């Protein structure tokens, strides 16, 4: 984040601390319960949010060198992300052009993918390089039977894919003004440490909602993160449908003794960026968490992938212990505190208690987010 932006934000946070307030919206927002349970809404979201626009699938460090790859299955399409020898990021359908088997699993390094079924062999650039009994397929030329590409772009340390064969990945248009803000983090320098996938009985939007206010910090998280952050005290800014929330760690008080020119806000804040519609990029102290949230098989289910990216490669045992501890704390807070409440909410949505839930004026990101989704799927 640019220094001038850090100073402006710190000043705003100090003002909120002094006045014991948070960013607000003008009015409350009534969010229909139906939008968390309806199969029709889920189908429209799938079409307009998860197929037509670029989705963030990782930081550049996910594919740290030429010859690396990773599969990505959360979107409902079997995707294969690669960085070929030329260093370029590409995405393909993980579907063999012979009879459709998956050509890769998990992640790793290599020069080619050998299909496990009959050994058709593809380069990381998608080309069909070789196949046993090549003469038997003379009428199906190798040149037209490479892996099927999907639009993919790498920009400022982030990997983007539009999961649709005939789609487009116009990242400038998608990010608009957020692009400069993200570029200032130098995300290309971060290293992938660890990823885990979670499945929860919650609508995918309810899962994103978890990140969108600090009103619950000292109630739900009274025994975990309440002591670390100010409660109900968060800035809110948006760029098109994307937005940022910044909450102050209590250590921000240390800045008061120094002139603003010397302020470094980064270790004293958590910045939550919602990369519309479904990725949550979190700056924590000195590292990045990337949450990718996708709809599950029904409106009541979601799939979530959490990845931790570190500023240095974690080569020593003590570094690994440090990052494991960070990772485990995050997973503990969401798995043991946020998500059980969320699953109860999802269950309660079917009980007929109310037609809508209510976002207060102290929860401006929630009303903004749901307005943006409603507009995008209309």
Q: Which is closer to Fe ion, CB of 300 or CB of 338? A: 338
338 binds, among Fe ion, ligand FES, none (CB under 5 to 8 A by kind): Fe ion
Residue closer to ligand FES, measured from CB, 108 or 116: 116
Minimum CB distance to Fe ion smaller for 92 or for 327: 327
Q: Which does 117 bind (CB under 5 to 8 A by kind): ligand FES, Fe ion, none?
A: ligand FES
Q: Which residue is nearest to Fe ion (CB)?
A: 338
CB 345 within 8 A of CB 202: yes
Task: Give residues in contact with ligand FES (CB under 6 A).
Answer: 96, 98-101, 115, 117-120
Sign of CA dihedral 258, 261, 265, 266: negative
Q: How far is the CB of 109 from ligand FES (least distance, A)?
A: 21
Q: Which is nearer to Fe ion, 64 or 340 (CB)?
A: 340
The CA R_g of the chain, rounded to the nearest whole Å, is 22
Q: Which of 65, 288, 90 is nearest to 194 (CA)?
A: 288
Peptide bond into 174 cis (omega under 30): no
Per DSSP, the chain holds a count of helices (H) and strands (E) of: 9, 20
Q: Which residue has the tokens 């399409």?
A: 77
| Residues contacting 324, CB < 8 A, separation 6+ | 194
Nearest-approach distance from CB 100 to Fe ion, in angstroms: 42
For residue 80, the minimal CB distance to Fe ion (Å) is 33
Q: Which does 196 bind (CB under 5 to 8 A by kind): ligand FES, Fe ion, none?
A: none
The site partner of 118 among ligand FES, Fe ion, none (C-beta below 5 to 8 Å per kind) is ligand FES
Using alpha carbons, list the distances in angstroms from residue 88 to 96, 101, 123, 190, 346.
21, 25, 13, 18, 41
Nearer to ligand FES, 100 or 313 (CB): 100
Minimum CB separation from Fe ion for residue 224, in Å? 9
């Amino acid at each position: 984040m640019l220094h001038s932006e850090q100073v402006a934000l710190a000043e705003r946070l100090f003002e909120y601390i002094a006045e014991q307030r948070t960013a607000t919206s003008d009015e409350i927002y009534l969010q229909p319960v139906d939008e968390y349970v309806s199969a029709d809404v889920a189908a429209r979201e799938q079409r307009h949010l998860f197929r037509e626009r670029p989705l963030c699938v990782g930081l550049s460090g996910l594919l740290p060198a030429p010859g690396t790859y990773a599969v990505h299955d959360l979107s409902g399409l079997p995707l294969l992300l690669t960085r070929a020898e030329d260093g370029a990021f590409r995405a393909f359908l993980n579907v063999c052009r012979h009879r459709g088997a998956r050509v890769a699993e998990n992640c790793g390094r290599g020069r080619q993918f050998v299909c496990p079924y009959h050994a058709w062999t593809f380069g990381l650039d998608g080309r069909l390089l070789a196949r046993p009994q090549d003469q038997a397929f003379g009428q199906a030329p190798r040149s037209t039977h490479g892996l099927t590409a999907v639009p993919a772009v790498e920009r400022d340390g982030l990997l983007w894919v539009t999961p649709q064969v005939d789609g487009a990945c116009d990242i400038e248009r998608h990010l608009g003004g957020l692009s400069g803000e993200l570029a200032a983090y130098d995300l290309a320098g971060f290293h992938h440490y660890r990823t885990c996938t979670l499945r929860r009985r919650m609508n995918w939007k309810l899962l994103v909602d978890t990140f969108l206010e600090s009103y619950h910090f000292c109630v739900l998280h009274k025994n975990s993160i309440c002591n670390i952050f100010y409660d109900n005290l968060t800035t809110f800014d948006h760029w098109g449908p994307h937005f940022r929330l910044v909450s102050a760690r209590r250590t921000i008080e240390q800045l008061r003794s120094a002139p603003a020119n010397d302020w470094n806000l980064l270790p004293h804040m958590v910045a939550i960026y919602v990369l519309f519609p479904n990725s949550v990029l979190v700056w924590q102290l000195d590292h990045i968490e990337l949450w990718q949230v996708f709809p599950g098989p029904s409106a009541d289910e979601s799939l979530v992938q959490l990845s931790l990216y570190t500023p240095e490669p974690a080569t020593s045992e003590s570094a690994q212990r440090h990052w494991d501890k960070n990772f485990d704390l995050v997973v503990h807070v969401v798995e043991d505190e946020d998500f059980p409440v969320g699953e109860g909410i999802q269950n309660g949505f079917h009980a007929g208690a109310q037609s809508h839930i209510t976002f207060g004026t102290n929860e401006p990101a929630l009303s903004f987010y749901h307005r943006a989704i409603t507009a995008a799927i209309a």
